[in-house]
Structure 1
Amino acid sequence: MDLDSENENNDLVAVGTPPEVMHQAEEVCSNLLPEKSRTKYEHVYGKFMEWRRQKKLSSYLSENILLVYFEELSKKYSSSSLWTFYSMLRTTLNLHDGVEIDKYPKLRTFLKRKSDGHLKKKSKIFSPEEINAFLNNAPDEVYLATKVALIMGLMGACRACELSDMKVEDIKDFEGGVIITIPKTKTKIVR
């Protein structure tokens, strides 16, 4: 699909639309990217657009152009990173240019082939025995705060960012126990 004609189509629609509605629509579109990773999405999109400028590619965005771009990326990045870039480009190209790269079967096949034989890195996690040993043997004088964070993280199923965002006011001490409120959660639901 030709990006210039796509933008012209959007401009033709805009001619009959009041400016305040167009402004509001642009604002809504700018907020469609995930809030926390918006800069990463825009960075990946910007790098792709810069690559296109350097290659002096026309405004027409074909599957072959993306295949060459991802082939170049595959020389520097792992297959899991390529899938991440694909996902970010899929979203940003659709938002900014109206191009749906998820309908490019050769590109998806290319990414799948690059994933063949790729061994994922195993996360380094503590075993239950190691956690118990730490809680029972580490001196409270040094590790009390770490032990509390560990217990709250495990028992409250908290993410690291949720723990670090907690404030003293979020912990209420009662005679029979403690009530902890997690105000800023990833799902935006107070727990």
Structure 2
Amino acid sequence: MDNCESEEIVEAANIAISNLLPTKSRSLYDIAYNRFKKWCAEKNVQVYSENVLLAYFSENAKNYKSSTLWAQYSMSEIDRFLSSADDKEFLMIKVGLILGIAGACRTDELVNLSVDDIEDVGSSLIVKIPNTKTNIPRIFVVTDVGNMLELF
């Protein structure tokens, strides 16, 4: 505690810090932070700097690559999958893929999605995501690009 800070201020700051991370993903942040601290200990890092972070991320890039489909596949590959994969076997995956990309949805948002959250208005779908990481519900629209709505 700094000499000019009261215990009340320090406690309020600690509460604010503990509430900075979303509850849903706190454990993932903790794992990533502990991995970084372990790496720093192995490298005998005493002071954190931009160079330390750059070195860490360059050595550990495989742990931080985006898992989103748009980062791993091109739109032509996605279009090819949507048009050629058998609907009997892959229909749910296709629907999830379309909703995930159109709404930039997280996995848990898709898993928790209900039929009641999707409204068919003819030429498009209105999708409501009630439970989000930020606890702020959001809405997006899926339009009929490439006959995507036919799958729904």
State the TM bucket, normalised to the shorter chain: 0.5 to 0.7
Distance 2:19 2:124 in 1: 42
> Which residue of 2 is the match for residue 133 of structure 1?
80
Report whether the alignment pairs 1:111 with 2:59: no
5+ residue gaps in structure 1? Answer: 1-5, 48-65, 76-81, 83-103
Which structure exhibits the higher relative contact order, with contacts defined as CA atoms closer than 8 Å and separated by 6 or more residues?
A: 1
Identity %: 30
Q: Write the letter of the residue equivalent to 1:151.
A: I
* Cα distance change, pair 135–43 in 1 and its aligned pair in 2 (3 A): closer
Q: How far does residue 110 in structure 1 lie from its aligned partner after superposition?
A: 5.8
> Which residue of 2 is the match for residue 34 of structure 1?
21
Q: Write the letter of the residue equivalent to 2:114.
A: K
**Aligned-residue CA RMSD (Å):** 4.3
List per-residue Cα deviations over 1:19-59 (Å, max 9, x = no partner).
xx998x48844642302343456678899xxxxxxxxxxxx
Distance 1:30 1:117 in 2: 28
Distance 2:26 2:57 in 1: 30
TM-score normalised by length of structure 2: 0.57
Distance 2:97 2:117 in 1: 17
Distance 1:38 1:169 in 2: 29
List per-residue Cα deviations over 1:45-94 (Å, max 9, x = no partner).
899xxxxxxxxxxxxxxxxxx9xx7643348xxxxxx9xxxxxxxxxxxx
Q: Write the letter of the residue equivalent to 1:34.
A: L
SS at 2:21 equivalent: coil
Q: Which protein has the larger Cα radius of gyration, Structure 1 or Structure 2?
A: 1
Report whether the alignment pairs 1:190 with 2:128: no
> Which residue of 2 is the match for residue 179 of structure 1?
126
Distance 1:163 1:182 in 2: 8
Q: How far does residue 181 in structure 1 lie from its aligned partner after superposition?
A: 0.7
TM-score normalised by length of structure 1: 0.48
Q: How far does residue 134 in structure 1 lie from its aligned partner after superposition?
A: 0.9
* Cα distance change, pair 171–108 in 1 and its aligned pair in 2 (3 A): same
SS at 1:172 equivalent: strand
Q: How far does residue 178 in structure 1 lie from its aligned partner after superposition?
A: 2.7
> Which residue of 2 is the match for residue 73 of structure 1?
42
* Cα distance change, pair 73–33 in 1 and its aligned pair in 2 (3 A): farther
Report matched runs for 1:78-117 at 5 Å: 106-108=47-49, 111=52, 114-115=55-56
Q: Write the letter of the residue equivalent to 2:42.
A: L
Q: How far does residue 139 in structure 1 lie from its aligned partner after superposition?
A: 0.9
Match of 2:117 among 161, 164, 170: 170
Q: Which has the higher helix share?
A: 1
